[in-house]
Amino acid sequence: MTGERPFELVLLELVLLVLLGPLVTGIIQKLKARLQCRQGAGILQPYRDLAKLLRKGTVQADTASGFFHSIPVLVLAATVAAGALVPVLRAGAPAFALGDALMLLGLLALARFLTAVGAFDAGGAFGGMGASREMTIAPLVEPVLMMVVFSTAIAAGTTELGALAAHRGTSWIFAWRAADFLGFAAMLVLLPAETGRIPVDNPDTHLELTMLHEGMLLEHSGPGLGCMLLASHTRQIVTLALVATLFFPIAADGALAVDLLLGAGAFAAKILVLAIFLALVESSYAKLRLFRVPQYLGIGFVCAFTALALRIL
Amino acid sequence: MDVYWSPNLIAACYAAGALSALLARWSGRLALTVGHLAALAGAIAGIGVALDVLLGEPGRTLTQPLPDLFPFAQLTLAVDGLSAFFVLVISIVAVAAAIYGPAYLRAHTPNAGPTRQAAQAFALNLFLGCMVFVCCAGDALSFLLCWEGMTLASYVLVVSDDRDGENARAGLLYMVMTHGGTALLLVAFLCLTERAGSFDFAGLRAAAAELDATTRTTLFFLALGGFATKAGVIPLHVWLPRAHPAAPSHVSALMSGVMLKVAIYGILRFGFDLLAPVAGPLPASWGWTVLVAGTISAVLGVLYALQQHDLKRLLAFHSVENIGIILIGVGLAMILWRRDDTGGVLATVALTAALLHTVNHAAFKGLLFLGAGSVLCRTHVRNMEELGGLARRMPWTAGLFLLGAVAISALPPLNGFVSEWLTFQALLGGAGRLHGPAGLVIVFSAAMLALTGGLAATCFAKAFGVTFLGRARTPHAEHATEAPTAMLVGMVWLAVLCVGLGVAPGYAMRLLDAPTAGLLQGPGASAVVTAHGPLVLSTAPTPGATAISMTMVAALLIALMAVAWVLRRGWRHSPVRSAPTWTCGMRPTARFDYTATAFAKPLRLVFAALYRPRRAVSRETAGTAYVLSRIHYAGEVVDLSETQIYHRVQRGITVLARTIRLRSTGRIHGYIGFVLGALFLALLLFGVGQK
């Protein structure tokens, strides 16, 4: 272990990710609004929503059990813990063993599993419907995502994300090989699915025919809903950071404050580019029918598998 | 040799337990209690013996001759690292089952007669004893005797629960299938013993060293077929989802959690020990067959589990899946073993992953079956569509079941994740080592393992959500109460293991040293996996290898949960108001709860090619077509191996039997002709063989 990232840096990165998560959502919403010739809410709107929810009281379904109350806590903790595993400001393995890409995907899966379990508790049909759809898409996304991770991990010989980023170095797109392009294409296909956006899911809707993730949040309210929303924002920025780590590694690797600032700037630029991509896709496509989604994910599977085959053969 | 912990002690405890069945003359309840207490003592003795061998000096084998029962063979016990590890796994679950059993049987079948109770006490002890001694056997004869005893005792337990026809059919199928498997084992063993001239494993090993490649591979596949039948590898699994749910729940926990592992023990014993060549890697076909069979079992097992609505049957299908995951590790270890130095380390990682998943699966599957048993004994319903809302009535059972569900879905920070992480790392390392198509197959297997994990999470979100959350769907579920304390204690024991093996798996690696180092004659598990200290898991002893720390992640999760808890309370700390769920303006009833069938429907359609779903909906209308008075829905999915293989074989046998019946005229000289013809044919065949 090289230990380029001390504990304080990992903690700083974690706090940064959680704080910036809602901002990314705000930017995407604003961009979408502008693309649709609307004024749209300000980019700070998600923060205002969170602050409002945290001030409110809680209304809980009378059928809900004791689990329901702790679901938001567990989901938020699992999602934020996943955030501790992606390098933000600097590449390189952390100074202490924590987790790797598989752990990150595992923690996100844990958050999703708990959300789905919580959706059952209110005893309404919408929660179960949302959980059913989300848990149908998730197992199809997960193997493809893992194959994309493997396609870069096999070249680097490790699944530790910081080490992966360090191995790739600052080689920009010019040093990419065919496998990288295919892996990136697969990742772009998966990105809307993993962040719950069109064409797989629609975050703006509360119509029962189209809800996936939102359906599971319907019965949460007040601070609990605030936690769930914060978890969604964090999940989105963590996924974007994962893409950035795997395909556009971190810019600076010095230890000075300037380098860290440079790293932060590079990170912001990368996240912004990916956010613009998401906004563009969301504004230019319609949501797919649920049973077309597996075919859509099939494109990702083929790309990822070809990328892996090119790496191994 | 330590005199206190010897296999005699285990045998004595289980024998006493079996004999306690005689107490049923006076009181069936007494027989049950004493029988289970003896089983508990036997299990503790088993843990003692296993730990004694595993933590003792490396490479030690505890051997002990048995009394001369047969003139032609000396029976011995030989407990080496591998045996001790499996004895440990068996004993761990046996402890839980022995604590859980009496309370469960009393609550589930309060009207059972003393005969049945005596049979259950006798068969449980015989079952446990035979499982332990299959793993401890030092010669082919005691192996086969215990193997058969294990099958017969578990058959008695399978048919002991209810007297209905379905249980009897499940038991019959179980008997037929496992005896088919045992026949294959018998052939493999007899071929070896004939060459060796003796029954003990040392002799067999020496005889196997002289085998040519074809015979060696044939014998391995015979043994693999036999063990795979017992392990429930697809397509030999058809008996498993029927027989396991039929048994009393603590016996289901033993059958699923442990008995299948005895077959894994057999595969390891044959593959790496008895039949392995003296030097050089194993034949390539062995490892690849095991790997591919494991992958298919894992994916299909979880896919079929997803469409089950019987709680115990769902769990039984998950055993097929988890055996598949174990076999992926075993197969990979077989492929990589003795290839070169890196391959050796990777083989150790793969075998460690397989063995760790063996004990992990025993812990969480045992926990889940016991949880399902608690539900069953309080509601007498196995169909989860008729349950619901149990979390408020049985909070302990629900919490423990949820813990098991998280563990089996391979989610951090529990133990299922640890062994799957190791399996992934071994697969990834293997793919990096073996370039070309072989590497691609391994990576594909890794992708399928990821799919399996995701589908397992879906399946358990369904199982837990539908059974324990929402509203009670029937009066059975409405009037449920929490399970008796003894049952909860049994479950807590396994839950503690799930958490412990998940949060601090490094300490368990010490126990895996003896089996891995003994089998692979290479570095032990802890030298590779915990080279950077017991709190860190790594894939190679070299610096720069991937390393994770489950302990750190668990600590991080707890810290973040504390922060999230503060957020969750909000700024106002206003009390929680309770209100009915919005059901579009109608009165909320249990009919609004999402059903298990509906939950699994999207995946049923996505994988329709595998499931071949069928459904029949009949509507009764009242007067006009727009007013429905009744609607009846029936849906089912088929098990492809059942329809494509077993039904065809069955049809073939029927056709054959019909043809024979036409020829069977009842005239005696016709039959004499047949016998003569058969004799002539046999002489011809064997005469050719002799030359």
Spatial distance between the Cα atoms of A312 and B551, rounded to a whole number of angstroms = 33
Task: Classify B62 as helix, strand or coil.
Answer: strand
H/E stretch holding B631: strand B628-636
* Whole-prediction pTM: 0.95
Whether B274 has a pLDDT exceeding 50, the answer reads yes
Spatial distance between the Cα atoms of A269 and A264, rounded to a whole number of angstroms = 9
**Interchain CB distance below 8 Å, B406 and A97:** no
Side chain identity at residue B157, one-letter code: L
Spatial distance between the Cα atoms of B455 and B458, rounded to a whole number of angstroms = 5
What's residue B574's pLDDT?
81
* C-alpha distances out from residue A158 to A149, A163, B271, Å: 10, 7, 30
What's residue A171's pLDDT?
64
CA–CA min distance A21, chain B (Å) = 16
Rg (C-alpha) for chain B, rounded Å, is 26
Domain ranges of chain B: 1-222+229-275, 281-565, 617-691
Q: A56: which chain B residues are within 8 Å (Cβ-Cβ)?
A: 570, 572, 574
Closest CB from B454, B574, B606 relative to A142: B454
Side chain identity at residue B541, one-letter code: P
Mutate to test the interface with A, among B428, B574, B595 (most CBs of A within 10 A): B428
Spatial distance between the Cα atoms of B680 and B675, rounded to a whole number of angstroms = 9
CA–CA min distance B126, chain A (Å) = 40
DSSP collapsed to 3 states, B118-163:
HHHHHHHHHHHHHHHHHHHECEHHHHHHHHHHHHHHHHHHHHHCCC
Share of chain B above pLDDT 70, in %: 98
Q: A309: which chain B residues are within 8 Å (Cβ-Cβ)?
A: 440
Question: Please, are residues B321 and B409 in contact by the beta-carbon 8 Å criterion?
Answer: no
**Interchain CB distance below 8 Å, B469 and A113:** no
B83 alpha-carbon distance from chain centroid: 17
H/E stretch holding B614: strand B614-621
CA-based end-to-end distance of chain B: 51
Would you place residue B1 in the very low, low, confident or very high pLDDT band (cuts 50, 70, 90)? Answer: very low
Nearest CA in chain B to A15: B560
pLDDT tens readout for residues B583-592: 888 888 888 8
Q: A313: which chain B residues are within 8 Å (Cβ-Cβ)?
A: 435-437, 439-440
What's residue A236's pLDDT?
96
Closest CB from A60, A80, A309 relative to B440: A309
**Interchain CB distance below 8 Å, B592 and A74:** no
What's residue B230's pLDDT?
94
Mutate to test the interface with B, among A132, A190, A218 (most CBs of B within 10 A): A132
Closest CB from B451, B470, B582 relative to A121: B470
* C-alpha distances out from residue B68 to B76, B335, B572, Å: 9, 40, 79
Closest CB from A98, A110, A154 relative to B549: A98
What's residue B51's pLDDT?
92
Side chain identity at residue B537, one-letter code: L
Question: Please, are residues B143 and B132 in contact by the beta-carbon 8 Å criterion?
Answer: no
B594, two tokens: 């999402």
Residue from B466, B375, B355, B373 nearest B415 by CA: B355
**Interchain CB distance below 8 Å, B552 and A98:** yes
Task: Classify A111 as helix, strand or coil.
Answer: helix
Q: B454: which chain A residues are within 8 Å (Cβ-Cβ)?
A: 109, 138-143
**Interchain CB distance below 8 Å, B598 and A160:** no
Q: A117: which chain B residues are within 8 Å (Cβ-Cβ)?
A: 402, 461, 464-465, 469
Q: B503: which chain A residues are within 8 Å (Cβ-Cβ)?
A: none
Residue from A43, A78, A85 nearest A272 by CA: A43
Per-residue pLDDT of chain A (313 residues; tens, 9 = 90+): 345 788 888 999 999 999 999 999 999 999 999 999 999 999 999 999 999 999 999 998 888 888 899 999 999 999 999 999 998 888 888 888 888 999 999 999 999 999 999 998 888 888 899 999 999 999 999 999 999 999 988 888 889 888 888 887 766 667 788 899 999 999 999 999 999 898 888 888 777 777 888 889 988 999 999 999 999 999 999 999 999 988 887 665 666 788 888 888 989 999 999 999 999 999 999 889 888 999 999 999 999 999 999 988 8
Handedness of CA B653, B659, B662, B666 (dihedral sign): negative
**Interchain CB distance below 8 Å, B392 and A143:** no
H/E stretch holding A59: strand A59-61
Q: A106: which chain B residues are within 8 Å (Cβ-Cβ)?
A: 410-412, 417, 421
What b-and-e string marks burial along A258-271, b requiring 16 or more CB atoms within 10 Å of the CB? Answer: ebbebbbebbeebb
Inter-chain contacts counted by CB atoms under 8 A, chains A and B? 300
**Interchain CB distance below 8 Å, B536 and A154:** no
Spatial distance between the Cα atoms of B111 and A208, rounded to a whole number of angstroms = 49
Whether B506 has a pLDDT exceeding 80, the answer reads yes
Helix axes of B550-569 and A66-83: crossing angle, nearest 10 degrees: 120
Question: Please, are residues B326 and B291 in contact by the beta-carbon 8 Å criterion?
Answer: no
Q: B540: which chain A residues are within 8 Å (Cβ-Cβ)?
A: none
* Number of structural domains in chain A: 1
Nearest CA in chain A to B453: A139
B455, two tokens: 């589908």
Question: Please, are residues A22 and A228 in contact by the beta-carbon 8 Å criterion?
Answer: no
Spatial distance between the Cα atoms of A154 and A159, rounded to a whole number of angstroms = 8
Q: Say if residue B46 is exposed, middle or buried (CB neighbours under 10 Å; 0-12, 13-18, 19+).
A: buried
Task: Classify B532 as helix, strand or coil.
Answer: coil
Side-chain-side CA neighbours of A190 within 13 Å: the count stands at 28
CA–CA min distance A15, chain B (Å) = 11
CA–CA min distance A196, chain B (Å) = 17
Residue from B72, B90, B73, B71 nearest B7 by CA: B90
Q: A226: which chain B residues are within 8 Å (Cβ-Cβ)?
A: 567, 570
**Interchain CB distance below 8 Å, B546 and A159:** yes
Residue from B613, B586, B529, B497 nearest B352 by CA: B529
Q: A150: which chain B residues are within 8 Å (Cβ-Cβ)?
A: 428, 431, 443, 446-447
CA–CA min distance A182, chain B (Å) = 16
Nearest CA in chain B to A103: B412
Question: Please, are residues A111 and B422 in contact by the beta-carbon 8 Å criterion?
Answer: no
**Interchain CB distance below 8 Å, A58 and B590:** no
State the virtual CA torsion across B142, B146, B147, B148 in degrees, nearest 10: 110
Side-chain-side CA neighbours of A71 within 13 Å: the count stands at 30
Question: Please, are residues B401 and B370 in contact by the beta-carbon 8 Å criterion?
Answer: no
- A1 within a domain of the structure (yes/no): no
- A2 within a domain of the structure (yes/no): no
3-state helix, strand, coil in chain B (%, to 5): 70, 5, 20
For the residues B488-499, what does the mean pLDDT come to?
Answer: 96
Spatial distance between the Cα atoms of B658 and B646, rounded to a whole number of angstroms = 18
H/E stretch holding B342: helix B341-379
Task: Classify B164 as helix, strand or coil.
Answer: coil
Question: Please, are residues B136 and B265 in contact by the beta-carbon 8 Å criterion?
Answer: no
Spatial distance between the Cα atoms of A46 and B607, rounded to a whole number of angstroms = 38
CA–CA min distance B235, chain A (Å) = 24
What's residue A255's pLDDT?
67
What's residue A20's pLDDT?
95
Q: Say if residue B684 is exposed, middle or buried (CB neighbours under 10 Å; 0-12, 13-18, 19+).
A: exposed
H/E stretch holding B459: helix B437-468
Spatial distance between the Cα atoms of B622 and B616, rounded to a whole number of angstroms = 20
Closest CB from A67, A80, A106 relative to B560: A80
What's residue B500's pLDDT?
95
**Interchain CB distance below 8 Å, A65 and B395:** yes
ipTM over 0.85: yes
Residue from B277, B290, B315 nearest B233 by CA: B290
**Interchain CB distance below 8 Å, B581 and A122:** yes
Q: What angle do CA B640, B646, B652 make, to 5 degrees?
A: 135
pLDDT tens readout for residues B433-443: 887 889 999 99
Side chain identity at residue B385, one-letter code: E
Q: Say if residue B476 is exposed, middle or buried (CB neighbours under 10 Å; 0-12, 13-18, 19+).
A: middle
**Interchain CB distance below 8 Å, A81 and B556:** yes
What's residue A164's pLDDT?
87
Strands (E), B413-543: 537-538
Spatial distance between the Cα atoms of A156 and A163, rounded to a whole number of angstroms = 8
Whether B602 has a pLDDT exceeding 60, the answer reads yes
Adjacent-strand bridge partners of B62: B79
Nearest CA in chain B to A293: B606
**Interchain CB distance below 8 Å, B548 and A97:** yes
- A79 within a domain of the structure (yes/no): yes
**Interchain CB distance below 8 Å, B553 and A99:** yes
Whether B130 has a pLDDT exceeding 70, the answer reads yes
Closest CB from B440, B568, B581 relative to A123: B581
**Interchain CB distance below 8 Å, B402 and A109:** no
Spatial distance between the Cα atoms of B209 and B279, rounded to a whole number of angstroms = 10
Residues 6+ apart with CB under 8 A from A213: A115, A130, A134, A196, A201, A203, A232
**Interchain CB distance below 8 Å, A128 and B465:** yes
**Interchain CB distance below 8 Å, A76 and B391:** no
pLDDT tens readout for residues B640-676: 888 889 999 999 999 999 998 887 777 888 889 889 9
Closest CB from A55, A121, A219 relative to B572: A55
Q: A124: which chain B residues are within 8 Å (Cβ-Cβ)?
A: 581-583, 588, 592-593
Whether B137 has a pLDDT exceeding 50, the answer reads yes
Residues 6+ apart with CB under 8 A from B176: B239
What's residue A1's pLDDT?
38
Mutate to test the interface with B, among A15, A71, A144, A146 (most CBs of B within 10 A): A146
Closest CB from A54, A103, A157 relative to B571: A54
For the residues B361-388, what does the mean pLDDT come to?
Answer: 94
Nearest CA in chain A to B550: A98
Q: B451: which chain A residues are within 8 Å (Cβ-Cβ)?
A: 139-140, 142-143
* C-alpha distances out from residue B652 to A295, B78, B518, B648, B658, Å: 39, 44, 46, 6, 10
Adjacent-strand bridge partners of B577: A59
Adjacent-strand bridge partners of B474: none
Q: Which domain holds residue A200?
A: 7-312
Q: Is A211 or B206 the better-scoring residue by pLDDT?
A: B206
Rg (C-alpha) for chain A, rounded Å, is 19
Q: Do the bridges between strand B537-538 and strand B547-548 make them parallel or antiparallel, or are there none, so unpaired?
A: antiparallel
A194, two tokens: 């993993």
**Interchain CB distance below 8 Å, B572 and A56:** yes
Whether B163 has a pLDDT exceeding 90, the answer reads no
B666: number of Cβ within 10 Å = 6
pLDDT tens readout for residues B73-103: 888 999 999 999 999 999 999 999 999 999 9
For the residues B266-272, what does the mean pLDDT come to?
Answer: 94
